[in-house]
Each structure stands twice: as structure tokens, then as C-alpha cells.
Amino acid sequence: MLYTVSEVAKILNVAPSTIRYYDKEGLLPFVERSTGGIRVFTEADLGWLKTISCLKNTGMPIKTIRLYVESAMQGDDTIDTRLSIIYEQRERLLEQMKELQLTLDIVEYKCWYYETAQKAGTEKVLNAMTLADIPEKYHPIIEHLHGKAE
């Protein structure tokens, strides 16, 4: 199965211009061209693009992705380089997981907060509460924010 730029773009849910931009930035050195100069994507290319898309969506800058892809093109001499890029990315992902979890905790507290305010029709009921009135699972996050609940 072979794909055009637009088909690949549709699968990855991005604009065709984005794919061309990635190519121009050296992220897709493996993509071949037809005799007329048109990009032809293979199934394997699509696998690469899915990986690239994931790395980009979780914050790896394009320059770093290029370094990784270029290394992979150069073969066995660059295994160490690629392994260390991947290790670093794993660290960053675990960091991001933690940040995401903290934000989710805050957001779930806010959900409870505004649902309570909505039922009462006012935030006053919440300002009047002490810690004892607030479900225990929200206590750590309130402590984290450390000021009054908003």
C-alpha cells in the first residue's frame, strides 16, 4: 500500500503542508519520490510518521527529532546516540506524566468545587467551609495550592 501526502496527512490528522514542512526540516529523509518528483509514502514510512507524530505531540522539538531520524539513517554507529535520545525522552515523558497528574488533581478538585457552588448558587458556601467539610481526597491538592480555595 502506497500513500500521497494528503492521504498521510488525513491518517495523522494534520494538514498536508505540515507533512511537507516536516520533510523540508529533514524529518522524512526516508520518503522516496516518483519519477515526476511526487512523494510516495510506504507502510513503513507511515510507521515512522506515527512515531514522529507521537514524539512531537509530547513536546520533542523538531530539531531533536531530526537528530534522531538522521542517526537512524546512518546505521549501527549511532545506536548509542539514539539510545541516549530515547532515554532522555523517557525521562521527559515521566516528568510530563507527573505534571499532567498534578493538573488533573487540581482540575478534579475544581470540578467538585464548581459543582458544589452550582448546587448552592453561590461560592459563599465554599468560602465558609473548613477542611473538615471538604472530601479528604482533595486535601493534598488544597495543601499544594496552600492559599484559599478559589
Partner DNA sequence: CCTTGACTTAAAGTTAACTTTAAAGTGTAG
Partner DNA sequence: CTACACTTTAAAGTTAACTTTAAGTCAAGG
Judged by the rule CB under 8 A, the positions of this chain that interact with a second copy are 42-48, 50-51, 54-55, 57-58, 72, 75-76, 79-80, 82-83, 86-87, 89-90, 93-94, 96-97, 99-100, 102-104, 106-108, 110-111, 114-115, 117-118, 121-124, 144-148, 150
From residue 57, alpha-carbon distances to 50, 51, 74 in Å are 10, 10, 25
Question: Residue 104 touches which of DNA, a second copy, none (CB < 5 to 8 A by kind)?
Answer: a second copy
Nearest to 28 by CA among 51, 60, 59, 1: 51
Q: What residue type is assigned to position 21 of the chain?
A: Y
Q: Give the three-state DSSP class for 91.
A: helix
CB of 145 to a second copy, least distance (A): 4
| Shortest distance (Å) from residue 20 CB to DNA | 5
Q: Is 96 in the site for DNA (CB under 7 A)?
A: no
Q: Look at residue 13 and give its three-state secondary structure.
A: coil
